[in-house]
Chains A and B, each alone.
Chain A
């Protein structure tokens, strides 16, 4: 092998970089569950759970537009039920804890929604 020393150093650097996903994960914690606490005292959310899990950000975005830009504060769900468009009065009535609900998925997945640049982050014990 020609230039064995730089080549070996290069190969080692490359392999270390390429295996980064494996050893980098070892520095932190494992992540086996989200730890989200869903409210127990209510039967259903605005839409069904699958939809909410995947599309809640889109729904909230739409609500923001409806409430603030169109002054429409009523949302009709798929099942025909009417809801008041309000983060604090509708969503957070059941999902009371920011820490046990929103934050659980958002922080560990590096999601930083801009809800809280207008709304005040609810404090614990409210």
Chain B
């Protein structure tokens, strides 16, 4: 955990020092292009790798009764038997995280009056569902809001998002709710790993690092907006230069915090295809989610089964007809009578 935090701090410090000693071109031009390339190529390679992997068994997750006889109630959403049903379940899963909604937490009672001894109780636990949903949607809105730096003129839908996001009109520049909520959600997801003993035991550096990285990105972003301000007109000139492949950096007044923010985002992009964060495209490749539960209707053939050598009965009879006839076995087709002399 600490090493993940230190790595994030180190990256931020390197970016800060780099911007101070005049390496802004490296962190502002070279790194973003490299990061975007690594991100896209990495994701595509990963997806092709997944698409090449055979699925030996039909292993869809079943969350209810499979479709069988008409009089048996069938869970359409949790056990879809058609491709359309799978699509609906996938959309609901991606948009509402329905599988997390079913999350439970095991608690042990030492002296339970019901059975007079220790007992395990599984409580419904919605916290993880709530905060992960909050995190993902806030992240999406924050991501969309950033398009004001990528587009000229800024489309009105982004203005609407900003108006709703800053509806409380706190301060100037007005406080965006999603920024604060994003930080809260991330802190919950981190606290969950730190304070839940069982979760802490199974948490690794690749669980903590993305959390600290995202917290770093959010904190530096909030800092840029409300405290150590970046001059957004200059930022926009810089970003538009990058996206038009004619980067400008000299003459722009980009502060150190902006370079830190940019470098952390680039780190996220580079890290993304090689980490657990690839669940973004990964969910669509998961055979537990993308296969219909029609195992009683359709036989799932393992694609790596070797081709079978079939020897059908007619072929068998053709091969051994004379011998069979000689032995007096019943035949479907009698051997042709040899012409008598």
**Chain A contact residues, CB within 8 Å of chain B:** 1-4, 7, 10-11, 14-15, 18-22, 24-34, 36, 53-55, 57-58, 60-61, 105, 107-114
Contact = CB atoms under 8 A, between A and B. Distances in A.
Interface residues of B, number: 43
A2 B55 contact: yes
B48 A1 contact: yes
A93 B51 CA distance: 66
Given A22-B243, A110-B154, A2 B52 contact: yes
A19 B240 contact: no
A55 B55 CA distance: 58
B284 A10 contact: yes
B340 to A, nearest CB: 60
B153 interface: yes
Contacts of A105: 232-233
A36 B233 CA distance: 10
B148 A110 contact: yes
Contacts of A57: 172-173
With most chain A CB atoms within 10 A of its CB, the pick from B44, B159, B174, B233 is B233
Given A31-B237, A32-B248, A54-B229, A108 B51 contact: no
Given A53-B231, A108-B153, A112-B162, A32 B240 contact: yes
Given A14-B43, A31-B236, A32-B237, A25 B150 contact: yes
Interface in B138-179: 147-154, 158-159, 162-163, 169, 171-174
B7 interface: no
A25 B231 CA distance: 20
Main secondary structure of the interface of B (DSSP, over half): helix
Contacts of B162: 110, 112
B148 A109 contact: yes
B236 to A, nearest CB: 6
B152 A31 contact: yes
Among A33, A54, A108, residue most surrounded by chain B Cβ atoms (within 10 Å): A108
Nearest to A3: B51
Contacts of B231: 53-54
Contact of A28 (B152, B159, B232, B248): B152
A11 B243 contact: no
Contacts of A26: 244
A105 to B, nearest CB: 5
A1 B39 CA distance: 22
Interface string B219-262: 00000000001011100110011011000100000000000000
A96 B174 CA distance: 25
B229 A55 contact: yes
A33 B234 CA distance: 8
A18 B172 contact: no
A63 to B, nearest CB: 10
Contacts of B236: 31, 108-109
